Amino acid sequence: MVSIYKWATTFFFSTVIFTCPVKAIASKIDLEAGVYSELIWTDNADIASVKRDSDIYTSINPYVRAKRDGKRIKANIDYQAKVIAYNKHTGRNDLNHLLRGNLDAELLKERLFTNIYVAVDREVVDPDNAISFDDLLYGDNTTDKYTARVSPGGVIPIFKDIGLDFSSSHGKILYDYGLADVDEHKANASLGTASRSSGVNWGVNAGKQYVQTENNNPSEYEQIDFSASVPVFNRTLLSVKYGEKREVLSSTADRSWQKGKVWSCNLGYALSSKTKLEFGGGEDLYNDQLLFSLTHAAVRSHVKVNYIQSEITLITQEINEDMDRVRAQKFGRAIDAVYVQKKGDISWRLIGSKNIIDLYLAHEERYYRNIDENENMIRARLMWEHKVSGRSNLRAAVNWWRLGDDQQDRLDDMAFYSLRYNINFDSKSNWYAGVDAGIRDGVQSALEYKEFKFRIGAELRY
């Protein structure tokens, strides 16, 4: 995979050179470098369900960040090396590289643009096997992932505020092993009014997507629709869409296209300058949907409530939206089914003079109409940060989620707890000490284990 890494990085840097004028290359670039260093004791170095063995290991993560923010060229590169060295379990020693590069270029002033993105990181191969709670991307159960994508687009003015917007995206995702490579292409065009804060906006939109997964037939979809947003009352905005969509999925044996209408109607109402309400519904090719959203944003507090109810016709596992990315394999079904999906979540953030509180709760249910099976997932996340002094703070966090109907029939149950004390001696260093605990308790195929860690570490910036 070294060749893929070289290809991805060469693709990014060569494009930067070709798209940047000489003045842009010679202009100021903001550089930042530093290193994260930790000494960690764990009581379960092998992430094992039985015969837990403790060990001490060192984690050293040097990083370099470069950024340029010009009028026509905006680019940033973030590179980090991750090194882990164990005292006894040397077979778990690890080295990997993380790279993210992003370039936005205005090739023709106010007319033609492009975005280029590359990334090198890791992804979990099998969610049922061992996943370290805080170091998710370390260990044998991961694979290197290489992403490269170029997205050109542009604007053609036609008359006053009416114009043609067009964009496309062409990318590849390559894996070292364990997961299938992906080749994806998208193209979209829209003829209509430019986005405005008030008044009537409309557009005629067309889109096409092509996705090729390794060793599979491609999936394709096409859609054309008309959309509009109209102020109907004081502080009330009506948004509508109507059109047609057709698609063919990679697992469809005869490669036949499915075709149907798409429409949506949403009503947004500003209760005040800080509070907004939205509700509506619609129909997609396989999906009838109702939604509700309430948002309140003040200076020191933010609350958002969402609820979506859908009735979805499940034709193949491709269109079965996963409840959670890491649990994707639990919801793959190559059967015809109809299910009702209910998703609700609430987030709350409070910012005080010395305290910050973040709370997130989510619940998702699926009720299948023609098979005797339901699915249920609950998530909860709580973070509290307390400012001890001008240079130090205390941070506590709990992250828990359960997949399954109840305690007895759960597929998976994971909880992660952390407590950390940070102190900044100066603007270029941050020192901390903390404890972490994780519990995974699934009653079916998921590996069960517990882990406790104590860590001391520092970030030094240059």
Q: Can you give the pTM of this predicted structure?
A: 0.80
Q: pLDDT averaged over the chain? A: 83
What pLDDT, on the 0 to 100 scale, is given for residue 177? Answer: 85
- The whole-number pLDDT of residue 462 equals 83
pLDDT tens per residue, range 6-59 = 444 454 444 444 445 444 444 578 999 999 999 999 998 888 887 889 999 999
Cβ proximity of 331 and 323 under 8 Å: yes
Residue ranges of the chain whose pLDDT lies below 70? 1-27, 128, 133-139, 194-198, 250-255, 313-338, 369-373, 405-411, 442-446
* Residue located via tokens 């092993």: 177
Beta strands 258-270 and 287-297: pairing type? unpaired
What pLDDT does 199 receive? 77
Per-residue confidence (pLDDT) for residue 453, from 0 to 100? 94
132: CB partners within 8 A, 6+ apart: 47, 138, 139, 451
Residue spans per domain, the chain: 189-285, 292-386
Which tokens is 97 given? 């590289």
Instruction: Tell me if residue 293 falls in helix, strand or coil.
Output: strand
| 3-class SS of residue 13 | helix
> Which residue, 142, 138, 146, is CA-closest to 82?
138
